[in-house]
Chain A
Amino acid sequence: MPTTALLKILLVVAAFSALMLVPRFFRSGISAIYKKEINAFFASFIGYVVIGVFLVIMGLVMWVFPDYSVLDSNYASLETLFSMAPMIFMFLIPAVTMRSFAEEKQSGTIELLTTRPVTDWQIVAGKYLACLALVVFALLPTVLYYITVYVLGQPQGNLDSGGILGSYIGLLFLAGSFSAIGVFASSLTNNQIVAFVLATFLCFLVYLSFDFLSALPIFYGKTDDIVQSFGIQYHYSSISRGVIDTRDVVYFLSIIVLFLAATVLSLGRRRW
């Protein structure tokens, strides 16, 4: 299909220009904000708590709880990880992102931050990347699960590595989308709890609600496929099959850009 080819070229161009931006990133205000946010995560223990809680829940579900455990299911697969992680992320990522703008607004530091010679886009990008990086830190140790399952397989290494790689990429996109939603929710309020609840609700809405909606009689059997394709779940499970479809990538990138643009708009609200 020519449109997909065009999209692929666009994607390559986007990826290339993103790479070109890397050296600029280290000189710009984004890196200062990014570093500050990462330090704040680990100074306030949010970072350790998030990573710890994620790994404890994942560990229990993967290896201990008999209903889900890899050891009891007798299949060399990481299916449990990839089906449970989005549900945990739905609560954990809002906990990571809730303070990003709400706290600054509460303490008034937003006034100093927005009068520095950095654009609102740089501020949003710095904070967003820091939140995403923390989620990636939490996800990294799960590579150990892959190695374990790989070794446990019979014969050894008998698992769908391509599918797993695809699932990881899908999970990263999902985390990226949830982080963008969370940062946006945080920019709407100066109350961190409101930001958390709102972000969780929005994540749920974007992740699952379209699947549920598609079962309504007006869509079911007619346009339910289209309705589903608005939700993250549809594209996440599509990528998890191990095929990186440009449509899914474009979908995730659009969600991320959409919510980050909304965040920039919301940050500029004082100028309206």
Chain B
Amino acid sequence: MSVKVQHLIKTYNTQHAVDDVSFEAHAGEVLGFLGPNGAGKTTTMKIITGYLPQSAGTVQVCGFDVVSQSIESRACVGYLPEHNPLYRDMYVLEYLQFAGGLHGVKNVNKRADEMIERTGLQSHRHKQINELSKGYRQRVGLAQAMLHDPKVLILDEPTSGLDPNQIVEIRQLIRDLGKEKTVILSTHILGEVEAVCDRAVIINKGKLVADSPIEALKQQFSGQNLVTVEFSQSVNEKQLLGISHIQSVKKLGERRWQLVSDVKNDVRADVFAFAVSNQLTLLELHKEVFSVEDIFQQLTR
């Protein structure tokens, strides 16, 4: 278990920022940490990295408690904080060497070169961080997080402020990292979770509302099957309800209907048979797929 969070509670004055959250993250997986703004994502990450102390509960990173074995646990974490703070007057290479020095990395120069190559900063290594665009700064932030080859990477909104091409590159990088390391990334871009993460932890108002693989999450939330169908001729509701397994119907347009059935049964074959037997022409027939957006909205409303 690379990261183990148990009954984590963080209170500011009387307000619960994080309220009894438990989850685990394992090596070789990318965990998406989802939630609306102010849900407690960043607070949880700050506790995991040892920046803030929790009010109650325990957090273990690589088997080390983040409070009592703080230095050991910090040594195996790479952290990209929200807003990616950097020393603006330092040079890229100089900054990476500094980060390596703090972690006691041997062969700092070689390692820094590797990271520069991996994050595509080759032509910027001798530039001042000040001169870099936001996308390149984000790469510097990632490079410093990976520099000491940590087992756990905590990335707080790693793709914020990047252009679409950069987002694709960084996501690929994170996926590659996730093959061997434990990556926890927070985001409010839902497409990112689908594109990068194996598992999602969703929190809302400090409380854990979901923790499961993305696919399972989708199935779980499509508690019913929705099929949209359009005929060339008009049909009435009664006829449609006559089709087996259909629980309810909803009129969407002149000849468009939404048919609801339970998860187990795919009614499309029955709908087709119905159309044939009634000599109706099918213009459209498709099954609605629940998106992560729908799940997110349902859970965090």
CB distance from A98 to the nearest CB of B (A): 15
Chain B neighbourhood of A27, CB < 8 A: 104
Taking CB atoms, residues of chain B closer than 8 Å to A118 are: 71, 102
Q: Contacting chain A: which of B48-56, B242-250, B264-272?
A: B48-56
Q: Which residue of B lies closest to A28 (CB)?
A: B104
| Structural contact, B101 and A31, CB atoms closer than 8 A | yes
Structural contact, B83 and A108, CB atoms closer than 8 A: yes
Residue of B nearest to A116 (CB): B102
Question: In the complex, which residue of chain B has the Cβ closest to the Cβ of A119?
Answer: B71
Q: How far is the CA of A9 from the CA of B98 in the complex (A)?
A: 38
Q: Is the CB of B75 within 8 A of A117?
A: yes
How many residue pairs link A and B with beta carbons under 8 A? The number is 69
**Does A270 touch B at the CB level, under 8 Å?**
yes
Q: Is the CB of B94 within 8 A of A115?
A: no
Q: Which are the 10 A-B pairs with shortest beta-carbon distances? A: A32-B101, A108-B85, A117-B75, A116-B102, A115-B49, A109-B85, A117-B74, A29-B102, A271-B53, A36-B98
Within 8 Å of chain B (Cβ to Cβ): is A35?
A: yes
A270-B52, A271-B52 as given contacts; A112 in contact with B85, CB under 8 Å = yes
20 A–B contacts, CB within 8 A, in A order: A29-B101, A29-B102, A31-B101, A33-B102, A35-B98, A35-B101, A36-B90, A36-B98, A36-B101, A44-B89, A107-B85, A113-B102, A114-B50, A115-B49, A115-B50, A116-B103, A117-B103, A117-B104, A271-B52, A271-B53
Residue from A36, A112, A270 with most neighbouring chain B CB atoms (10 Å) = A112
Q: Which residue of A lies closest to B49 (CB)?
A: A115
State the Cβ distance, A100 to closest chain B Cβ, in Å: 13
Q: Mark A42-77, 1 if CB is under 8 A from B, else 0.
A: 011000000000000000000000000000000000
Chain A residues in 8 Å Cβ range of B75: 117
Q: Check: B77 CB closer than 8 A to any chain A CB.
A: yes
Residue of A nearest to B46 (CB): A111
- Give the docked Cα–Cα distance between A107 and B86 (Å): 7
A66 to B: closest C-beta gap in Å: 42
Known: A112-B79, A112-B85. A32 touches B71 (CB 8 A): no
Contact between chains at A32 and B102 (CB < 8 Å):
yes
Cα distance, A89 to B112, chains bound together (Å): 39
| Chain B residues within CB distance 8 Å of chain A | 46, 49-53, 71-72, 74-75, 77, 79, 81, 83, 85-90, 94, 98-99, 101-104, 144
CA distance A117 to B79 in the complex (A): 12
Partner of B74, one of A28, A32, A33, A115: A115
Judge whether A40 is part of the interface by a CB distance below 8 angstroms: yes
Contacts of A119 in B (CB 8 A): 71
A158 smallest CB distance to B (angstroms):
49
Whether a CB of chain B sits under 8 angstroms from the CB of A39 is: yes
Q: Are the C-beta atoms of B102 and A40 separated by less than 8 Å?
A: no
**CB proximity of A3 to chain B, nearest CB, Å:** 38
Q: Which residues of B contact A270 (CB under 8 A)?
A: 51-52
- B residues in contact with A113, CB < 8 Å: 102
How distant is A120 from chain B, measured CB to nearest CB, in Å? 10
In the complex, chain B residues whose CB is within 8 Å of the CB of A109:
85-87
Which residues 65-116 of A have a CB within 8 angstroms of B? 107-109, 111-116
Q: How far is the CA of A271 from the CA of B75 in the complex (A)?
A: 19
Interface pair B88/A107, CB less than 8 Å apart:
yes
Contact A29 B94 (CB under 8 A): no
List, in ascending order, chain A residues with CB within 8 A of B81's CB. 108, 111-112
Nearest neighbor of A107 in chain B, beta-carbon distance: B85
User: Which of B50, B52, B72, B85 has the largest number of chain A CB atoms within 10 A?
Assistant: B85
Please judge, given known A-B contacts A29-B101, A32-B101, whether A107 and B51 are in contact too, CB under 8 Å. Answer: no
Q: Nearest Cβ in chain B — how far from A113, in angstroms?
A: 8
Alpha-carbon separation in the docked complex, A116 to B77 (Å): 8
Check if A116 sits within 8 Å of B74, measured CB to CB.
yes
Residue of A28, A32, A108 ringed by the most chain B CB atoms within 10 A: A32
Closest to B86 in A: A109
Contacts of A271 in B (CB 8 A): 52-53
Contact (Cβ within 8 A) B51 A29: no
Residue of B nearest to A118 (CB): B102
